[in-house]
Amino acid sequence: MTATEIERVHRVREQLPEEGLFAGKDWLTSPEPFRVDPRFAEQLEKLGHWLWKLIRASNLLYFQSKKGKQAAWIADALDAGKPKELKELAIKFRQELPRVIRPDLILTDKGFVISELDSVPGGIGLTAWLSRTYAQLGFDVIGGPAGMLDGFEAIFPEGAIAVSDESETYRPEMRWLRDELVRRSGDKWGVVRAEDWDFGSASNVYRFFELFDLPNLPSSSSLFAAARNGTLHLTPPLKPFIEEKMWFALFWMRPLQEFWRRELSERHWLKLRELIPQTWLLDPAPIPHHAVIPGLGIQNWEELKRFSQKQRAFVLKVSGFSEKAWGSRGVYVGPDLPHQEWAHRIDAALTSFHSNPFILQRFARGHLFRQTFWNEQTDSIEALKGRVRLCPYYFVVSDHEVKLGGALATIVPPDKKLVHGMRDAIMVPAAVG
């Protein structure tokens, strides 16, 4: 421990906004960012372009399925459980796509895997604050001290940021983001409560709420009316199919390989196959007696239920449009579950296929990295060897320009299977060093 490390921690803590950044939540402070080498940072820069191509291709595949140019079951699965009005509006805004892309990267012994892809991500304000704060300490943070602010302003130059009560944990960070943008460029942004906001009163709205939450918004009638009338520019758009986790399963399906290769390019398709873990859609439809499920070598899902604990190196996730589809609520790690509960979760997933589909994904065990942190009780610097989730934030400025604004690293103790923000996690920006 050095005095310099303690001084850096206190400088970070002193700059915390009075309201905080996450309502009612805290994290462990480190005297330094999470360091990555220049080659890794260069790969992160390229990843945003690859993922943007994947999202554009996903949008195309959905509409080709709706038109009969691809199999109808693709759109049927993506539309499962969605209200009619949302499905109709998704068609109306066919060309609209999310302008913020945040993958969850799990750092492993062999590199990283993309466990999820989020287009309504939390952490934008937090990462902006962390990036600026650690840059002021002299670190070469990814995206630079203002990369997150620059990126958000580029995709959303003015308007209202609508945050729902379901997402109220993130309201303080969006207020901080608004205040910084106003300080830089004038009073062109506001943070509003989505439940009582008149969506017809503003032409530009940044949506910071999940679409499953719409029935809880008394203001949703004004949202739908403004969207139908064409007076509202909403980002991310009202396209729930884009926000499904099952896209990773569709990416791995053999009948769709030629589509992905054509739309992504052979090189990018092969690269993403290295990064996206093999994923399956838990569809209860019977499998022909002479066939097996690719990659699993089983003839039906009953066999999966009988897998031993060692064989169950999988994660079961609800795909989307559910209150359990974010924040690791609807995620079940196979090795952690007793046999009976594992079998029960698979049965429940198959039963809910027509309303809330589930996916099965290979579990990626994170490598252990050493990161220092401040022990508040002793006012000393200690070290944690933990698993890392790295979240780079990409801002899609145009079809040809995707900016990496910054990257948030969450380091959790080694006994945590799911790498997610929590009281005993370290949260820092990533930096080259």
> Two tokens at 367?
């490598």
* Best CA proximity match to 413, nearest among 391, 390, 383, 433: 383
Q: How far apart are CA 117 and CA 317, in angstroms?
A: 13
pLDDT for 357 equals: 95
Per the CB < 8 A criterion, the answer to whether 276 and 252 are in contact is yes
- Spatial distance between the Cα atoms of 133 and 127, rounded to a whole number of angstroms: 10
Q: How far apart are CA 239 and CA 78, in angstroms?
A: 10
Q: pTM of the prediction? A: 0.95
Class for domain 278-362, per CATH? alpha beta
Residuewise pLDDT in 10s, the chain (433 residues): 566 999 999 999 999 998 889 877 789 999 999 999 999 999 999 999 999 999 999 999 999 999 999 999 999 999 999 999 999 999 999 999 999 999 999 999 999 999 999 989 999 999 999 999 999 999 999 999 999 999 999 999 999 999 999 999 999 999 999 999 999 999 999 999 999 999 998 789 999 999 988 988 999 999 999 999 989 999 999 999 999 999 999 999 999 999 999 999 999 999 999 999 999 999 999 988 889 999 999 999 999 999 998 899 999 999 987 776 566 667 899 998 999 999 999 999 999 999 999 999 999 989 999 999 999 999 999 999 999 999 999 999 998 999 999 999 999 998 866 655 567 899 999 999 8
Integer CA distances (angstroms), 293 to 279, 280, 289, 415, in order: 11, 9, 11, 32
The pLDDT assigned to 316 comes to 95
User: Does the N-terminal peptide bond of residue 237 adopt cis geometry, omega within 30 degrees of 0?
Assistant: no
- Predicted pLDDT of residue 420: 59
Q: How long, in residues, is the chain?
A: 433
- Helices and strands counted in the chain (H then E): 13, 15
CA torsion angle 160 161 165 166 (round to 10) = 140
**Residue 34 CA to its chain's centroid (Å):** 19
| Model pLDDT, residue 324 | 66
Provide the pLDDT for residue 202.
Answer: 78
Report the DSSP beta bridge partners of residue 160.
190, 205
What's the pLDDT at 330?
Answer: 74
Query: Any residues with CB less than 8 A from the CB of 68 and at least 6 apart, and which?
Result: none
| Distance (Å, whole) CA 246 – CA 101 | 16
CB environment 373-409: b (16+ within 10 A), e (fewer): bbeeeeeebeebebbbbbbbbbbbeeeeebbbbbbbb
In 166-278, where do the E strands start and end?
189-193, 204-208, 233-235
User: How far apart are the C-alpha atoms of 425 and 104, rounded to whole Å?
Assistant: 16
